[in-house]
Chain A
Amino acid sequence: MIEKTLKGKPAYWIWLAFLGMFMAIGAFCYSRQFLFGLGMTGMSRDVSWGLYISQFTFLVGVAAGGVMLVLPYYIHDFKEFGKITILGEFLAIAAISMCLLFIMADLGQPLRALNVVFHPTPSSMLFYDMIVLNGYLFLNILCGWVILTAERKGIHPPKWIYFFVYLSIPFAVSIHTVTAMLYCGLPGRHFWLSAIIAPRFLASAFAAGPALIILACLVLKRVANFDAGKKAMDKLVTIIMYAALLNTFFVFLEVFVGYYSNIPGHKHSIEYLFFGLEHHGHVYDNLVPFMWTSVILNFGALGLFAWPYARKKNEFLLGLSCVMIFFALWIDKGLGFVFAGFVPNPLEEITEYIPTANELGITLGIWATGFFILTLLYKIVIGCEHEMEH
């Protein structure tokens, strides 16, 4: 099936070249970081995780979001998802690939990464994260490939594959739960020390992942003559709406607990995110414009989704609301959540984090790599799809 990636219209090649350019920039920036050290980034003693880990956290969610297609299709036999479930599985592959790249980019000694395997440590949440992330990657490659091959041949997939399909459902939940546990089990980081982090991660994941799939479907409809079907898209919008509402509700609960309890440690990070944190006469508010943008995009998108004309009749508005919700959640989880956890530091000092150009280059490069992989995988899906139609 890989041969499908080798034939395409000029637009396909231009798109790949465009991504390849960013990948090259990323590789160049990474070589600089590799030779000098992580001092090339904006991270500091106080804010010791930055864009890499925050992107990783967000993308684990995108990967887990694929289960919102797998679950209705395989468990509830929701037939309309038949055509696009594979898109969810392949999105998970691309997203996990990005996650692994972001982790590698974040390591101070990347060549020692295998120490995690050589010295397995069951007390560390990173140990479990390694297992579930790689497991989920493997499951999606396996299920996606076997089922697509069978479809292409016009036969039923072998029975044994369903064991792995069903297994991938708890794995999807586990990747984001374990990723939440990286944060919510740390004493002394008040912002993260909350039992609602895992459910909140899952809720935002189940909105961000499907939003990206709708966008992909809209693009594929225009450029590749691939129609996901009205009913399928409509169901996805419903899923996104519920998930985004739940996420909003969870964030509100965090704000309530912080402000009503009036415990300083619980308020600091929220204050830093939304209003700026005053300290010794200086207000630290780097993230404030981002967070309010996120709030506006979030409610704007929910409003658009709730408007039947926008979600059913107007593809432009549907796409726009998906872009909006995706960006809202990206800011919320892919920026704010990780950075604010370090403010203030355990000694109640404040250091703000601003990524460097080199760091942005690597980050863009990894995103481009993910979209490169996604494009190739979707090209295979479309190729097989068209082959069957003939």
Chain B
Amino acid sequence: MDTQRRKFLKIAGASVLAGIGAPAIIKLSASTALASDHGVAAGAHGAPAGAAHGAAAHVEAVPQGVRLGMVIDMRKIIEQPVLLDNAITACNEAHNIPQIGNRKSEIKWIWKAPFENVFPGESNYHLAKNVEKSDFAVLCNHCDDPPCVRACPTQATFKVKENGIVAMDFHRCIGCRFCMAACPYGARSFNWEDPRPYIKKYNNQFPSRMRGVVEKCNFCGERLALGQEPACVEACKGTGAIVFGDLNDAQSEIRQVLDKEFTIQRNTSLGTKPSVFYIV
């Protein structure tokens, strides 16, 4: 049985890789995103909370092209915590994320953590009770100025020019883990051993990884390429708990939300310009 299954995994993995190489994802997702793009030059987009610090480093340049981002409405998730569970499960299944079950080797793309851990720089003295007790969604921030990309010695992790996604080439990664040290958000996981035995339900639309490479949230570049929403966004469909779209497009849904709501971001003082926003 095992050899049978292994063979299947191999074939499935190979065909997926052949089908959607990284360049294909970039191209297709860019064009899908661009389809809704008609206000690129319209002024500065909603600058992140970091702009409040007033330093020149936080004044963002006039945006160019598509910059995908996400708003997580914690009010809705606090009300209905199952939404976050669904989003995490959807992500795990979409990306063949192994469930290794120990803290040492775990792999996670989107996960739960308390406010004090997600926003360690913020004051959490006498935090509102419902916020204090709730789990926040944590994932890669797809920074506009990502330290992980700067650190990577092989460009195995890179910013996709067309849409701002911080992506990974699992076949180029040498596993030096410099990006893990560089990421100030703890968003990256490493395959300390072969992850395949820990994948519960294999999704042949996305490659599984081999041991010795780093991985993280990819904003579902492969699903965007097919015109689908990210798995976590789809799992919360209709609730508005997670809004996804082009931060540079003044007409996009995400911009409507950002223009209306007060949002916070994780550790903006580092100048990384995260693309994930939280409504608390």
Q: Contacts A115-B172, A124-B178, A188-B183 hold; do A45 and B154 have CB atoms under 8 A apart?
A: no
What separation, in Å, do the CA atoms of A327 and B181 have in the docked complex? 26
Q: Which residues of A contact B174 (CB under 8 A)?
A: 107-110, 112-113, 115-116
Task: Name the residue of chain A whose CB is nearest to the CB of B185.
Answer: A346
**How many pairs of residues, A versus B, come closer than 8 Å at their CB atoms?**
145
CB-based contact A187/B270 at 8 Å = yes
Q: How many Å from the CB of A145 to the closest CB on chain B?
A: 30
**Contact pick for A37, options B172, B185, B212, CB 8 Å:** B212
**Contact pick for B175, options A44, A109, A130, CB 8 Å:** A109
**Contact pick for A48, options B150, B181, B184, CB 8 Å:** B181
CB-based contact B190/A108 at 8 Å = yes
The interface-forming segment of B46-54, B78-86, B191-199, B224-232 is B191-199
What separation, in Å, do the CA atoms of A106 and B120 have in the docked complex? 30
The interface-forming segment of B15-23, B61-69, B100-108, B237-245 is B100-108
Cβ-based interface call for A227 (8 A): no
CB-based contact A124/B151 at 8 Å = yes
Cβ-based interface call for B223 (8 A): no
CB-based contact B270/A39 at 8 Å = no
What separation, in Å, do the CA atoms of A342 and B182 have in the docked complex? 11
CB-based contact A348/B177 at 8 Å = no
CB-based contact B104/A347 at 8 Å = no
Contact surface of B with A, Cβ cutoff 8 Å? 103-107, 113, 116-118, 120-121, 138, 147, 149-156, 172-178, 180-186, 189-194, 210-214, 267, 270-272
Task: Name the residue of chain B whose CB is nearest to the CB of A192.
Answer: B181
**Contact pick for A126, options B178, B184, B186, CB 8 Å:** B178
Q: Which of A96-153 contact B (CB under 8 A)?
A: 103, 106-110, 112-113, 115-116, 118-119, 121, 123-127, 130
Residue total for A at the interface (Cβ-Cβ under 8 A) = 45
* 9 closest A-B pairs by CB: A108-B175, A188-B184, A108-B212, A39-B192, A39-B193, A126-B153, A37-B211, A346-B186, A187-B270
CB-based contact A121/B155 at 8 Å = yes
Q: Which of A342-371 contact B (CB under 8 A)?
A: 342, 345-349, 351
Cβ-based interface call for A186 (8 A): yes
Task: Name the residue of chain B whose CB is nearest to the CB of A351.
Answer: B103
What separation, in Å, do the CA atoms of A113 and B176 have in the docked complex? 9
What separation, in Å, do the CA atoms of A348 and B177 have in the docked complex? 19
Task: Name the residue of chain A whose CB is nearest to the CB of B175.
Answer: A108
* 0/1 string, A288-318, CB within 8 A of B gives 1: 0000000000000000000000000000000
Q: Which residues of B contact A113 (CB under 8 A)?
A: 174
Cβ-based interface call for A43 (8 A): yes
Q: Which residues of B contact A108 (CB under 8 A)?
A: 173-177, 190-191, 211-214
What separation, in Å, do the CA atoms of A315 and B192 have in the docked complex? 47
Cβ-based interface call for A189 (8 A): yes
What separation, in Å, do the CA atoms of A38 and B175 have in the docked complex? 10
CB-based contact B153/A107 at 8 Å = no
What separation, in Å, do the CA atoms of A349 and B121 have in the docked complex? 13
Q: Which residues of A contact B103 (CB under 8 A)?
A: 44-46, 351
Task: Name the residue of chain A whose CB is nearest to the CB of B113.
Answer: A347
CB-based contact B154/A107 at 8 Å = no
What separation, in Å, do the CA atoms of A345 and B118 have in the docked complex? 11
Task: Name the residue of chain B whose CB is nearest to the CB of A34.
Answer: B212
Other CB < 8 Å A-B pairs besides A115-B153, A130-B153, A187-B271, 20 of them?
A43-B192, A45-B103, A45-B104, A46-B103, A48-B190, A103-B176, A106-B176, A107-B176, A107-B212, A112-B174, A115-B154, A119-B154, A119-B172, A183-B181, A188-B185, A189-B184, A341-B181, A346-B185, A347-B117, A347-B186
